[in-house]
Structure 1
Amino acid sequence: MTPGCFRPGFRVVCNHSFLPPRAFLANTRGFPYQQSYIYTVTASSPADYGSGVKAKRRVELVDLSVATSEVRVRAAVSSRCSVNATHFQGKIEITDLGKKNSLFLLSATLNVLVGVGSSVEPIMLSEFGDTEKTMAFRPSCKSEMMDNQQFAANGSCSTLGCCLAVLPLPTQTPPLTRFGAGFMPRPRRPPSTWETTTTPCSYGMVVESSRYNFSTPDLYGHEGLSGRLSRGVPVALDFVIRSSAGTSSSCPVEDRQRPADYACLSGNSSCHNAAGGGYVCRCWVHYHGNPYIANGCQDINECELRKQSDELSLRYPCSSDGICKNRVEGYDCRCKSGMKGDAIKGHCSEKFPLPAKVVVSLAAFVVACVLMVMSRQLLKLKRFYEQNGGPVLKGVKNIRIYRRKQLKQITNNYKHVIGEGHFGKVYMGILEDKQQVAIKISIKIDKHMKKEFTDEVIIQSEMRHKNIVRLLGCCLEVKAPMLVYEYAARGSLYDVLFGLKRIDIISVDTRLGIAIGSAEGLTYMHSAVESTIRHGDVKSANILLDQNFTPKVLDFGTTRLLARGKEEKTDHVIGDLSYIDPIYMEEGVITQKSDVYSFGVILIELITRRPAVYDDQRRYVANFVQASLNNEARNFVDTAITSEADIKLLEMTSKVAVECLKPNIEERLDMKQVEQRLNQILEQSAPYNQKTSYQADLSPAPNDIPLLKDCKNEVHTS
């Protein structure tokens, strides 16, 4: 990103006007860029794309892969919307990577053309010139529902509301450096009144295959789909190396002097010519790294790598009866002494001097191998069981110890993944009594952590509170213990507020109920056992909700159990920086008041419906606190809340949040006081007294998480 750190044409710039900041490809000789053409067309006259209103902007970078010479960017969605039965308003989105000798090329194998609409026939536009006024129509597809929207179904595109076309292979067409999605000049038939009012828009996009899944709500509303995908959709590009002068270049001829700007700088790399001109660099087989920097490709140790996972063990095979030895540009695997065969293929057998003994000896060998494998497996399971504290935990009354094969049956061979994080995955399971459970992979335990882990499991097993996720059991016959918890149908509070399980309208009573229940759970944790518990990672992702929106605190088992009144200092602050107590970050000491601070951030999320974000100035918290102190908290209240009575309740809640977020921990409320304050606020809500459970106004969750709008202006105002 700074001069001297990038090859010309490959610079990345960072736009800090977004929160969080976003990366964009830098313009080199005016490219790459995205341009919008806005035009109007009638049923009697074709569209003139070139004469429309134009707007240029940079191309947003999503990610990149040096090994495969690919980058992923965002490309905007084209649209055509009915104004009435005869007039259309169109917007064509073109991505221009450079007309000649571009460093970036559209990947024809990774992308597809997609059209969405009740009556849509998108076409791919390429070689779209500002002066030539010419277009090359490449692939197209068609979706014609004839007012039969009821047949549209979520999922892949099947011409019912959504159609798909593959792109031509590089051998069939010149490299594509200027592309976009357009539409046939006129519809095949006059639109009906239903279409112009209910499904007025058609959409076209070039998108990476499998990165867009059709959903029936995409058909409805004016600019509904392009609004939800306002940042664009992922598109895969191939990048190539060209000479610094911008002209097409290729790999140098062997034994000739390399050009001064030759890109393959690592000594263990090779050059490969790319289709359409230019070249790419790749590390040699059995090397890994970055071929574009000196010493970037390093020899890999296949013998060590194969020990790390089953996938790598299959990639670099070596029989258990073989001896693996690393060498430069590969590895050797030979059968052990006294054996013969191909150890890489798994064919090692004993050497027998007398042919007459072959049959008997072979049978004995097979039996011995089976017994050896079974014995090793049993010893391995026993070692894991003891390492993970099995002898201690088997005497705990409130949890069940599951065998590894039982857990495999409960999860249907780990088929259904319902969550994933830095620790690993969370699986759905069903017990014998049909109870649904969540099985979570814990951290790997060593001999120094055994007592701490068993203590945490014992404490969790003693927790019996409606607002704390209940630990039902564990499996210890695995490398990393697996914990069996009760299942929360609605997922986390973060999912319901901002994620894939988002609910559009959540009443104030429901929000207060979630806040009070979460506070009750934390209050219980802080005072229910002989040793105090300090959660240390309180955040909306660690508060689960059942079908009735009853909150349940999760992940307190990953914190330390400290003697009452004792403080321990750590140099490694662990937790989500968006919620973590600044005092904890500075001093490394976690207290119960640290949990109170994090809970205050969750109250802000419930009030504003805006996800917590972190920056060095902690503006997310500071702006809200200042507004509340100035009696301007209503400026931050979720815009979906319109009742004056509800707004006043959230204003009172904001005062509780401010009490939780005070810089001086001695001035903060404790969790019991927070619970009492919130209950007092809820008592002032008359409708709540008529309800028997936490409720919310339910509506289908959209596919995309809405972006924060005007966030910058609101921060400036506050």
Structure 2
Amino acid sequence: MSRASQSHSHSQMKLLLSILLLAAETGHEQTMGAIAGQQPPITREGCPDKCGETSIPFPFGMARGCFRPGFQVVCNHSFRPPRAFLADNGGRTYQRMMDQNYTGPSFRPGEPLRRNKAVELIDVSVDKSEARIYTAVSSICSTSGTHAVGRYAFTYLDKAGPFLASPVRNVLVGVGARVEATMVSSFGETEKAMAYRPSCLSDLVGNLQFTTDGECSGRGCCVAVLPPEAPLLTRFVAGFRPRHRRPGWESSPCSYGMVVQSSWYNFSTPDLYGYEALSGRLARGVPAVLDFAIRKGRCPPDGQQPPAGYACVSGNSSCSNEARGYVCKCSEHYHGNPYITNGCQDVDECKLRKQSHELRLLYPCYDDGICSNRVGGYDCRCKPGMKGAAIKGHCTEKFPLPAKVVVGIAAFIVVSVLMVMSHQLLKLKRFYEQNGGPVLKGVKNIRIYRRKQLKQITNNYRHIIGEGHFGKVYMGTLEDKQHVAIKISIKVDKDMKKEFIDEVIIQSGMRHKNIVRLLGCCLEVDAPMLVYEYAARGSLHDVLFGLRRIDIIPVHTRLGIAVGSAEGLAYMHSAVESTIRHGDVKSANILLDDKFIPKVSDFGTTRLLVRGKSVKTERVVGDLNYIDPIYMEHGVVTQKSDVYGFGVVLMELITRRPAIHDDRRSYVASFVQASLDKQARNFFDQAITSEGDIKLLEMVGEVAVECLKPNPEERLDMKQVEQCLVQIMGQSAQHAQETSYHGDLSPAPDDIPLLKETRIARMQ
């Protein structure tokens, strides 16, 4: 067989597997039947193949003689429709529900109440050797400051049986304002042996507003992936470490843990509120995936007769050894159930390819070809009077002389047009290579756009949304209706080529909610164009001082902008493989979306700090209103230079006075001196009148002063700045809660623990 034929066969196999897996995942045997053009059998003759809406394929079964040992299913007809459950195998496969009360200041556990229930079966995929079951959600719910109720779901699978919990297809998920979910496995009857114990932590520190729907990032929801080398899981439970006592239990009383199918659970913030909000919504349980195999025996060596009781009884099937036993599969171009006689049936590719575009790609036979099915495959031949490879679309016919003359004339015209076009194409290619296209095309997370595509996206560059020394910024709309900002970059010569490529690679790798995301670039132009996500409210400078000015900006909104901006810069400084400095931190380079979420932007002066090398540079040019005095004196830009610029941004945010540069640096100096004299409030935005809000601004002002220290070594780093601002945000939330019950209880202006610790460390 030629390499081309092998490659085509391999591609066919991959696409067929994806379609078969989709059919198994959805549990629709009708989809499987459509693939073969008929409904194949799924169980032995005379055996029931359904329990309610659940298909029961052999080796699973419900009646005597209809299942292999360990695969018995019980159909409970008390439900409407009936539901399928795994047989308990003599009390070795079941779920144990345990309720336990916790009382007192130390939450001492009381005597647990245990009850057993059968394991409900959702569906079976013979092709993937998987079964999905419902597992209950474990929970611990506070009913007061000194009382909690724990509910735990232990899943027991027969140790000698065919089932193992899949470490690849399942994850541990914890949900709660303060929860450390833990998966315990391989416990004994005393439930004390803990051989395998992954865990994850979710802690909002009392700030429920920080949650985001759909994200399991440790803020309201966390996830722990089970490594593939996990032990053979036959018994497991999702539990909790002792974190029951926490403030705010009235609004978020419950924490949850579950072992669940990967990507099945989609976090929703309402799950945090109310008593048993999540476990009530998922009362039936959540899906978990079990791997199954024939546990007794191994695949027979090639050329040897299968042993007695061998499970792969269908012709056109194969055997694969697993960790504990073996599984059966249908051969290529066959599908069905390899565990029953004649269960693997031939696929009629010619009928199948008429059903969808995807199947036509899987089984190609172009318009000039004639498709004919055969056992174990299909043939595609050219129509009469034509020759070539129809399966590749290469059928050709003999042309008469007049046709050849016409073709010759047409070819001449085409060649003439191509010669005109080739000059333009060579020009585009030169720009593409000059701007680093051969390197950037292999970079993940970034799309290379053609010049024609950008012209369509921008509606012929009609809408300008910004302009500066670099050029213009245009509004664009992608095919999915997402708005984007398209910015003309600097012209790249051969000396700047590597630097430009490095900067694009750095930006494409930065994925953070507070950093403007680089989506793609166009390199077929003299000055490359960069495609960024769009920020609806423009820059912070616009909102504070410009055409998009908003008269009243609440203090909690300003704190959110400060915290998010600090998070973005801290991520740049420490959350990637090589540390980065921005080089031009200012309010004009902090964009705001429609919800005032800040996004750090404009990386035209960003530089990669290669560890172990000099940090000096002569090419960074920043805004004099925000630039570090050390850079002005020594030409050195460090991450502490970003901290200085961010300190000026904080001043603008709380004073609403635009930064102005002069030789004495009076803008910064006057504020710092006023802050040291406890007179900083004289500079604050006059629209802020609440004493509590003014106290919060004073705390932000203290952080700004720490950022503006003349000696860079005495400044906070961005992570410390972020933590200080988060602490202030927490005090803001606490202040808002307390004032709603007790009036205006102003926070203490010096109550910033991290700032106090830093000062004490300097004094020592």
Instruction: Give the structure-1-normalised TM-score.
Output: 0.46
Give the greater-gyration-radius structure (CA): 2
Flag the structure with more relative contact order, 1 or 2, with Cα contacts below 8 A and sequence separation at least 6.
1
